[in-house]
Amino acid sequence: MKILHIIGGLLLFLCIGASCFAHNEIPGEKQKKPIALTNAKLYTVTGGVIERGTIVFDNGKITAVGISATIPQGAEVIDCKGSSVYPGFIAPNSVIGLTEVDAVRATRDMNEVGSVNPNARAAVAYNPDSEIIPTVRTNGILIANVVPQGGMVGGTTSLMMLDGWTREDISLNGYASMAITFPNLATFTAPWMQKSADDQRKDNDKAVQALYDYFTKAQMYSKAAQSALTDNARDIRLEAMRAVFEKNMPVMIQCGEYKQIIAAIEFAKKFQLNAILVGCEDAWRCTREIKASGYPVIIGRVHSLPRRDDEPYDITYKLPQILANEGIVFAFSDGGAWQQRNLPFQAGSAVAFGLKEEDAVKALTINPASMFGVDKKVGSLEVGKDATLFVSTGNALDALGNKLEYAFIQGRKMSLETKQTRLAEKYRTKYKQQR
């Protein structure tokens, strides 16, 4: 009986836990008739800004964009006078859907055991009912690249739309990229450091060699698999790596410090990778090398302190402008899960420090879309692309003076309610009734 009571208690705990971390918003219904957004300021991204324009979409696809766009008979017409329409923003480096409460281990599913897990795919662990998702999309982030964490090879990332019932419905590209972390190359001296600088360098060299050895092994496996390979010789991890060499799958390389960035570029060139440099706090120190490589960059949080005491206080705020001036393609990221809602704020701060608004919007939309090979589907307001977009009362990069009025993912109108908005309404009502 004790065992039955224990099992029952565990089941009750799991049920309660599941209900605590599942949002109440119902995914949007499939688009049933054409929708026209009129009199809006259209941020097309690839075709400039259109004042008092109209955008029409049907069956989840954009069918017309412009000042004189034809509105089909029977369409739902929404007057957006004074409002702006943007393509859905994209979070290119996120763990949304893989974690709920960072302080609660049972709600974190970001890391696999071991240092090499290319077969770990983010879409498999993604939780479409996460409470965090509605809070993020209310700021216009409608797509997220979900990235497994930890180890040398973290796993396969998945590009997920932030609305839908199941992982299959939500996935825009379940195999968006391979995530790796380039070994640290710096040495540290401090009273609490147990290893000398020489020993640290030896450890760093071993870690770099291990990464090279694994990619060499994976490359050889890919070549063998394309010629002749028996079923008995298959390796689930190396099978996952084949897409990197055979399908040009992007490889996200986490590298922040100057030496890391240079070494990561050399590594990517060695294996002819379709690389994306991630983090890159020191990118301003090596813009020439990054530009020559042709690799795009996903920068870290703009609202950060400099890495070193002797660096300019505003270098993280100016980094986007520096990259844009050099012609380096970049995107904004903010790490973590719920922090993704701050992406427009990060971009707005970069604009305040010299970045052109046009470049800031591109870094939230078409740039990340092109990095992951979905720029023909999303990232701009163009005929034929998915109707993944939102209507904003003002400038979407303004953290204080902006509010979303409507949001659509593939034409499906989404709820913009969150747990927080419901609580706010509840307690406003409470105090009104007590007057």
Does 369 fall in a domain?
Answer: yes
17-26, 178-187, 197-206: which is most confident: 178-187
Q: Indicate whether 44 and 189 sit together in one domain.
A: no
Q: How many domains does the structure of the chain reveal?
A: 2
pLDDT of the residue at 212: 96
The pLDDT > 70 percentage for the chain reads 93
Q: Is residue 271 part of a domain?
A: yes
Identify whether 180 is part of a domain: yes
Whether residue 190 sits in one domain with residue 61: no
Query: Quick one: average pLDDT of 110-138?
Result: 89
Q: Are residues 287 and 348 in the same domain?
A: yes
393 within some domain:
no
Determine contact, residues 389/381, Cβ cutoff 8 Å.
yes
Q: Mind listing the pLDDT tens digit for each residue in 211-231?
A: 999 999 999 999 988 887 655
The alpha carbon dihedral of 328, 331, 334, 335 has a sign of negative
Whole-number pLDDT of residue 8: 45
**49 vs 104, residue with greater confidence:** 49
Residue 417, pLDDT above cutoff 90: no
More confident residue, 161 or 24: 161
Select the more confidently predicted residue: 13 or 116.
Answer: 116
Q: What pLDDT is attached to residue 9?
A: 45
Examine residue 13 and state whether it is found in any structural domain, yes or no: no
Q: Which residue has the higher pLDDT, 302 or 401?
A: 302
Of 67, 87, 107, which closes a domain? 87
Query: pLDDT digits over 377-399, tens only?
Result: 999 999 999 999 999 998 999 98
φ, ψ for residue 55, nearest 5 deg: -125, 135
Whether residue 13 has pLDDT greater than 70: no
Q: What pLDDT does residue 230 have?
A: 55
> 218: part of which helix (H) or strand (E)?
helix 197-227
Give the CATH number of the domain where residue 42 resides.
2.30.40.10
Query: Binning pLDDT at 50, 70 and 90, where does residue 18 land?
Result: very low
Co-location of 80 and 104 in the same domain: no
Which pTM was predicted?
0.90
Question: Does the residue 417 lie in any domain?
Answer: no
Residues 221 and 109 in one domain: yes
Q: Considering the domain boundaries, does residue 286 fall inside one?
A: yes
Tell me: do 58 and 157 sit in the same domain.
no
Tell me, what's the pLDDT at 231? 59
Among 336, 352, 378, give the residue marking a domain's end: 378
State mean pLDDT over 278-307. Answer: 95
**Same domain, yes or no: 259 and 271:** yes
* Same-domain check for residues 101 and 77: no
Tell me whether residue 316 is in a domain: yes
223-241 exposure pattern, b = at least 16 Cβ within 10 A, e = fewer: eebeeeeeeeeeeebbbbb
Q: How confident is the model over 187-204, as a mean pLDDT?
A: 81
Which pLDDT belongs to residue 229?
A: 60
**Residue 345 has what pLDDT?**
94
Q: What confidence score (pLDDT) does residue 433 get? A: 79
The reported pLDDT for the residue numbered 1 is 42
116 touches 214 (CB < 8 A) = yes
Residue numbers of the domain that contains 124: 90-378
CATH, residue 368: 3.20.20.140
Please count the other Cβ atoms lying within 10 Å of the Cβ belonging to residue 67.
10
Contacts of 302 (CB under 8 A, 6+ apart): 316, 317, 319, 320, 332, 346, 347, 349, 350
pLDDT tens for 306-329 read 988 899 999 999 999 999 999 999
For residues 159-179, average pLDDT: 92
Both 176 and 261 in one domain: the answer is: yes
Does 311 lie in the same domain as 224? Answer: yes
| Mean pLDDT on 355-362 | 97
Residues 158 and 301 in one domain: yes
Are 78 and 117 in a shared domain? no
The secondary structure of the chain in percent helix, strand, coil, rounded to multiples of 5, reads 35, 25, 40
User: Binning pLDDT at 50, 70 and 90, where does residue 428 land?
Assistant: confident
Asked whether the predicted pLDDT for residue 409 surpasses 90, the reply is yes
- Of 87, 106, 141, the domain-final residue: 87
**How high is the mean pLDDT of the chain?**
89
pLDDT for the residue 7: 42
